[in-house]
Amino acid sequence: MGSKLAFGWACLLTSLMVLVTEVRGQVKFFNVMNYSAVADGATDNSQAFLKVWKEACEWKGNGSVLIPPGSYMVNSVRFEGPCKGSVGVVIGGLLKAPADPSKFSTDSWINFRYIDQLTVSGGGTLDGQGQVAWGLNDCNKNSSCPRLPTTLRFDFVTNAWIDHVSSLNSKNNHIVIFGCENLNMTHIYISAPANSPNTDGIKIGSSHGIRISSSTIGTGDDCIAMLSGTKDVNISNVFCGPGHGISIGSLGKNNGDNVDGVLVQNCTFRGTSDGVRIKTWAFPSLGTASNFIFQDIFMDQVGNPIILDQEYCPYPPCSQQTSLLQISNVTYINIWGSSSAKVAVTLRCSASKPCQNVVLEDINLGYRGRDGPVTALCSHVNGSANGHQSPPPCI
Ligand SMILES: *[C@@H]1O[C@H](CO)[C@@H](O)[C@H](O)[C@H]1NC(C)=O
Ligand SMILES: *[C@@H]1O[C@H](CO)[C@@H](O)[C@H](O)[C@H]1NC(C)=O
Ligand SMILES: *[C@@H]1O[C@H](CO)[C@@H](O)[C@H](O)[C@H]1NC(C)=O
Ligand SMILES: *[C@@H]1O[C@H](CO)[C@@H](O)[C@H](O)[C@H]1NC(C)=O
Ligand SMILES: *[C@@H]1O[C@H](CO)[C@@H](O)[C@H](O)[C@H]1NC(C)=O
Ligand SMILES: *[C@@H]1O[C@H](CO)[C@@H](O)[C@H](O)[C@H]1NC(C)=O
Ligand SMILES: *[C@@H]1O[C@H](CO)[C@@H](O)[C@H](O)[C@H]1NC(C)=O
Ligand SMILES: *[C@@H]1O[C@H](CO)[C@@H](O)[C@H](O)[C@H]1NC(C)=O
């Protein structure tokens, strides 16, 4: 079993090296085992990892950190650039965070910052060991609690490819992308229980040119969330469940919030509380959210398969004012499957800023409940409905 695994890993590594060599010329590997890392699942390897990062980053060519199979305990590490060439991290092993949340001094566990041309790959796993943290009493809102770290965080990273990486049981968000540009994620596997609080799968803010594909996300909060400053994001072939769906927002707490250009395509949602969601607070801040396409999406027993809500209020009571955030150009095409609630389509826009150009095309959602067929609910929506429509459209 072990040798089979090691063999598989060696093959993956060899093909990766061949690939990388072909594409980029020589890559120099820096093996953490040569920097006194100990793969016993208990020794803190933070210093060894930082030392090896520094060497790879300062290599005047294409350097890559190599973490072979094995179990490595590691505390918060910040992999910081700028580097002298392109830089990679090949994670073949299992990285384990300390279970005790008070051991973290920063808001992230594995943090990449200010790096151009980064590759993270290798098929390894980041285990956030979040179980103890989830038991704390609503810790993200309580200053007497330790700050719970995001498992994997990218700040100001450009031209990056994150491929074949797993994140288990994060204490807080699994992955955060902030201030990044041209970053691709493929074959990402994210898993935490449905009842783990605040464990968003991938959270994106102030970034553009982000692509996420061929990935599986099951967690206790949003599978993917896109916050203010996000522009030009493509998401395809993502499986989401359990979780709270793929969300734009929440927006509208601050003046100037904006998200522009999101395409969600070929995705499956299973047993999630929400499917494709746009949410703004009922708060009089100016902002915009526009140019979204949700296309070719299968819903399997989803709570709110299609929901656009400008009165978002997860913890009532909220100030019931009206949103001044303008939503426009939202298209839903070919969305089918089953709703686990009677209202399958909700388009609740702002009375002060009605949604503009919302299009429903070929919607086929069913319901197995006893209280009649599925329905749609609209307020202050301007747009059109074409093709097959179940529930009957309210636009
Ligand atoms: C680095 O570590 C690997 C695996 O432990 C070993 O085979 C190799 O000889 C080491 N290289 C150097 C330069 O020490
Ligand atoms: C490093 O990789 C880049 C492409 O990412 C390539 O253009 C360059 O030639 C490589 N440098 C070396 C020293 O191999
Ligand atoms: C804050 O956290 C502490 C320790 O977990 C807990 O005793 C306290 O009740 C929490 N306060 C609030 C307002 O949640
Ligand atoms: C990301 O994917 C796009 C589309 O496939 C490609 O054009 C781009 O070069 C990729 N970027 C990186 C950094 O791999
Ligand atoms: C997303 O896909 C659309 C349509 O294929 C394309 O025009 C756009 O450039 C893509 N954006 C990104 C960030 O890849
Ligand atoms: C979506 O799936 C269809 C059918 O499997 C495929 O032809 C198409 O290329 C996919 N599109 C994307 C963006 O993955
Ligand atoms: C909405 O789409 C139309 C037509 O493509 C475009 O002209 C307009 O600029 C878009 N609105 C926004 C706010 O981007
Ligand atoms: C809907 O759009 C039409 C055409 O642009 C416009 O005349 C109308 O006032 C809009 N309705 C609302 C509620 O915004």
Q: What is the mean pLDDT of residues 291-303?
A: 98
Give the residue, by CA position, lying nearest to ligand 8 atom 9: 382
Domain identity same for 111 and 222: no
Give the residue, by CA position, lying nearest to ligand 3 atom 4: 145
The alpha carbon of 357 and the centre of ligand 8 are apart by a number of angstroms equal to 9
Active-site annotation holder among 164, 244, 380, 388:
244
How far apart are alpha carbons 80 and 101 in whole angstroms? 23
Check pocket membership of 384 for ligand 8, CB cut-off 6 A.
Answer: no
**Residue-wise pLDDT tens digits, 226-257:** 999 999 999 999 999 999 999 999 999 999 99
85 in any annotated domain: yes
Q: Which residues line ligand 5 (CB under 6 A)?
A: 209, 211, 232, 234, 263
Domain identity same for 257 and 303: yes
**Residue-wise pLDDT tens digits, 124-182:** 999 999 998 998 756 656 667 778 999 999 999 999 999 999 999 999 999 999 999 99
- Residue 70 CB coordination number (10 Å): 18
Give the residue, by CA position, lying nearest to ligand 6 atom 4: 266
Ligand 8 atom nearest 380 alpha carbon: 13
Domain identity same for 121 and 207: no
Nearest-CA neighbor of 218 among 193, 249, 248, 187? 193
Ligand 7 atom nearest 291 alpha carbon: 14
State the pLDDT at residue 339: 96
Ligand 3 atom nearest 141 alpha carbon: 14
Question: Domain boundary at 144, 162, 180, which?
Answer: 162
Examine the pLDDT at 24 and tell me if it is beyond 50.
Answer: no
Range of the domain at 279: 172-395
Give the residue, by CA position, lying nearest to ligand 4 atom 14: 161
- In this structure, which ligand is nearest to the CA of 88? 2
The alpha carbon of 266 and the centre of ligand 6 are apart by a number of angstroms equal to 6
The tokens describing 86, both together, are: 């392109």
Domain identity same for 246 and 116: no
The alpha carbon of 273 and the centre of ligand 6 are apart by a number of angstroms equal to 25
Residue ranges of E strands in 8-53: 27-31, 40-44
Ligand 5 atom nearest 208 alpha carbon: 13
CATH number at residue 45: 2.160.20.10
Domain identity same for 75 and 201: no
Q: Is 174 a catalytic residue?
A: no
The alpha carbon of 146 and the centre of ligand 3 are apart by a number of angstroms equal to 11
Domain identity same for 250 and 363: yes
Q: Give Rg (Cα) of the chain.
A: 22
Q: What is the mean pLDDT of residues 54-62?
A: 96
Angle made by CA atoms 393, 356, 265, in degrees to the nearest 5: 70
Number of domain units in the chain: 2
Check pocket membership of 33 for ligand 1, CB cut-off 6 A.
Answer: yes
How far apart are alpha carbons 107 and 78 in whole angstroms? 11
**Residues 6 or more apart whose Cβ sits within 8 Å of residue 265:** 234, 235, 236, 237, 293, 295, 296, 297
Domain identity same for 177 and 117: no
225 in any annotated domain: yes
143 in any annotated domain: no
Residue ranges of E strands in 206-323: 208-218, 224-226, 230-240, 246-251, 257-270, 274-281, 286-302, 304-312
CA distance from start to end of the chain: 58
How far apart are alpha carbons 33 and 170 in whole angstroms? 26
The alpha carbon of 357 and the centre of ligand 7 are apart by a number of angstroms equal to 9
147 in any annotated domain: no
- In this structure, which ligand is nearest to the CA of 356? 8
Q: What is the mean pLDDT of residues 89-116?
A: 94
Beta bridge mates, 390: 364
Domain identity same for 303 and 225: yes
Cα-based distances in Å from 293 to 133, 197, 264, 304:
36, 29, 6, 17
The alpha carbon of 330 and the centre of ligand 7 are apart by a number of angstroms equal to 10
The tokens describing 183, both together, are: 């970053």
The tokens describing 363, both together, are: 């919607």
Give the residue, by CA position, lying nearest to ligand 1 atom 6: 34
Ligand 1 atom nearest 68 alpha carbon: 4
- The answer to whether residues 67 and 95 touch, using CB atoms and an 8 Å cutoff, is yes
Domain identity same for 127 and 176: no
Domain identity same for 49 and 177: no
pLDDT band at 315 (very low <50, low <70, confident <90, very high): confident
pLDDT band at 302 (very low <50, low <70, confident <90, very high): very high
Domain identity same for 335 and 205: yes
Q: Which of 184, 213, 236 has most ligand 4 atoms within 8 Å of CB, for mutation?
A: 184
How far apart are alpha carbons 334 and 224 in whole angstroms? 20
Give the residue, by CA position, lying nearest to ligand 4 atom 1: 184
Check pocket membership of 266 for ligand 6, CB cut-off 6 A.
Answer: yes
Query: By CB neighbour count within 10 A (0-12 exposed, 13-18 middle, 19+ buried), where does 4 fall?
Result: exposed
The alpha carbon of 322 and the centre of ligand 3 are apart by a number of angstroms equal to 32
57 in any annotated domain: yes
Cα-based distances in Å from 242 to 82, 222, 230, 277, 336:
37, 9, 24, 15, 18
Domain identity same for 270 and 371: yes
pLDDT band at 26 (very low <50, low <70, confident <90, very high): confident
Question: Domain boundary at 142, 162, 182, which?
Answer: 162
Ligand 3 atom nearest 138 alpha carbon: 14
Give the residue, by CA position, lying nearest to ligand 1 atom 1: 34
Q: What is the mean pLDDT of residues 335-340?
A: 97
State the pLDDT at residue 6: 47
146 in any annotated domain: no
150 in any annotated domain: no
39 in any annotated domain: yes
